[in-house]
Amino acid sequence: MNTFLKIFIILNTILVIFMAFYEIKNFKRFIFWFFIIYIFSIFGFLAYIVFGNALKFKAKQKLIIKQLKTKNYLKKIDYLKNNDTNLTNSIYKFTNKNFGSKAYTNNFIKTFLNGQDFLLDLIKEIKKAKYFINMEFYIFSDDETGKIIANELIIKSKQGVVVNIVYDAFGSKKTSNKFWEKLKDANINVYPFFPSPIKREFFNFKVNYRNHRKIVIIDGQLAYTGGINLRNDHMGKSKHLKPWRDTQIKIIGSAIYPIENIFINDYLISSKQDFNEEQISFYFPKISNKNNITLQVLNSGPEKEKPAIYETYLNIINSCKKYLIIETPYFIVKSEMINAIKNAMLKGVNVKIIIPKKGDKKMVYGATLYHLKQLLNAGAKIYLYPNFIHSKVLITENVASIGTCNFDNRSFFLNFENTCLCYDKKFIFKQLSFIKNDIKNSVTLTSNKYKRLKAKNIFVILFYKIISKLL
């Protein structure tokens, strides 16, 4: 055995031992990365560091410590102490018990079904802002859409309105530094979430943990969240993905508080700051809205012990009795969730899943088709929306969930996400009417259509069929 081979084996063994400490509880993942490291050595290990391992202990601890502080911000607000709800819904009880997610009363909700309607409403509300604008987006682009919002924010900042922005370092990697500097020059506070320490995303070992949230809070009186980013294609301006169907909600009421809390946590993590009592009062003003919708805001991230949105969705699927509707651009889930949906169908639940007719990422679309095959064979109705749908919506007879979380393992286990759970029957029926219209405009995925789509994506499907046994 020559010297090079000995060094190669010794080095790989050391790397594998290091990796084993992180994967000792997951034998399948250990075997998968064992072969990757032994085949590609140091390059395989670097791939594991970036894409395979859990969030680093130090980063995780920082997130948890900051969350404990921001959680206490809500406790200090006197007018929230009487925010009691008489909800008896089993899903609410599950999420409240397991994830400490309270329900907030007296809300009004408006739904936007495309980016242009959302953008127009956002501009209108930005113009009316008097005190502060808090904004967090996975993608904040420097294209026409991003520049329109940036110019409005600069105007408000010059008028004395406090503007805070958090953007995901990976999601907004194509946005130029000049764009951010222009905002900073206007006294706008701008911070990237999990940036690379040397300004090169290739060397960012946190790149696998992305802040996928889309949140806007204005004056503590209204909030937006959902699937829409600030980029041209999300406004339906892409030649290849047009029309672009999405879902965004506008909330006026006390449910703004937990959304604001999510933003402030991400802002303080990114800016490495803390707030004093005066700042807490400033960002959590009293809301006098008298509407009657109760909302529960749920957030999840890789720093948490339990994947809150994933486990809540499992609970929703297991408890539904009549229908289950999922609208998502991607469907890549564990066999546990596929089995839960199949078991729901065995109980007589009517399952409908709406996905795009055309994917924005070939690899992800192929994986989506692979994971939907079992449900198609089991009798689920799957619809292909013309061109692209980006909504993140789940509806049953008992709850409607709208937020930032895709129906895929990345969103469930790696990303920082949030969703809103609404148990109001009128709101659920209204969302159903939107879904029915989407189905009306879609084509049903039949076995023959699936075969044609499979033929176009055969290599991706075969790839996922192989690695799904290991992951």
Task: Residue 284: name the closest of 198, 221, 368 by CA.
Answer: 221
The string of pLDDT tens digits covering residues 406-426 is 999 889 988 999 999 999 999
Structure tokens at 447: 């076995």
pLDDT at position 416 is: 94
DSSP string, 155-166: HHHHTT-EEEEE
Please give the Cα distance from 143 to 221 (Å, whole number).
29
Please give the Cα distance from 426 to 417 (Å, whole number).
26
The string of pLDDT tens digits covering residues 167-199 is 999 999 999 999 999 999 999 999 999 887 665
DSSP conformation class of 231: S
CB neighbour list of residue 200: distance below 8 Å, 6 or more residues apart: none
Q: How many CB atoms lie under 10 A from the CB of residue 392?
A: 26
CB neighbour list of residue 212: distance below 8 Å, 6 or more residues apart: 138, 168, 171, 404, 405, 406, 411, 415, 416, 417
DSSP string, 390-419: ---EEEESS-EEEES--EEHIIIIISBEEE
Please give the Cα distance from 64 to 82 (Å, whole number).
27
3-state secondary structure labels for all residues of 17-36: HHHHHHHCCCHHHHHHHHHH
DSSP conformation class of 304: S
Q: How many CB atoms lie under 10 A from the CB of residue 142?
A: 19
Please give the Cα distance from 92 to 444 (Å, whole number).
33
Please give the Cα distance from 414 to 257 (Å, whole number).
25
The string of pLDDT tens digits covering residues 119-158 is 999 999 999 999 999 999 999 999 999 999 999 999 999 9
Write the single-letter amino acid at 294. Answer: T
Please give the Cα distance from 66 to 60 (Å, whole number).
10
| Residue in the block written with tokens 């500097």 | 181
CA 23 to chain centre: 25
Q: Bridge partners of 396?
A: 324
pLDDT at position 115 is: 97
Dihedral Cα 113, 116, 120, 126, nearest 10 deg: 90
Q: Does the pTM of the predicted model rise above 0.85?
A: yes
The string of pLDDT tens digits covering residues 85-104 is 677 789 999 999 999 888 98
Between strands 388-389 and 244-245, the pairing is parallel
Q: Bridge partners of 168?
A: 193
pLDDT at position 463 is: 75
pLDDT at position 471 is: 45
Mean pLDDT across the chain, nearest whole number?
86
Please give the Cα distance from 40 to 35 (Å, whole number).
8
CA 135 to chain centre: 15
Peptide bond into 307 cis (omega under 30): no
Please give the Cα distance from 91 to 234 (Å, whole number).
32
Regions of the chain where pLDDT drops below 70: 1-2, 4-85, 197-206, 465-471
Q: How many CB atoms lie under 10 A from the CB of residue 38?
A: 15
Q: Bridge partners of 298?
A: 419
Count CA atoms closer than 13 A to 133's CA, side-chain side: 28
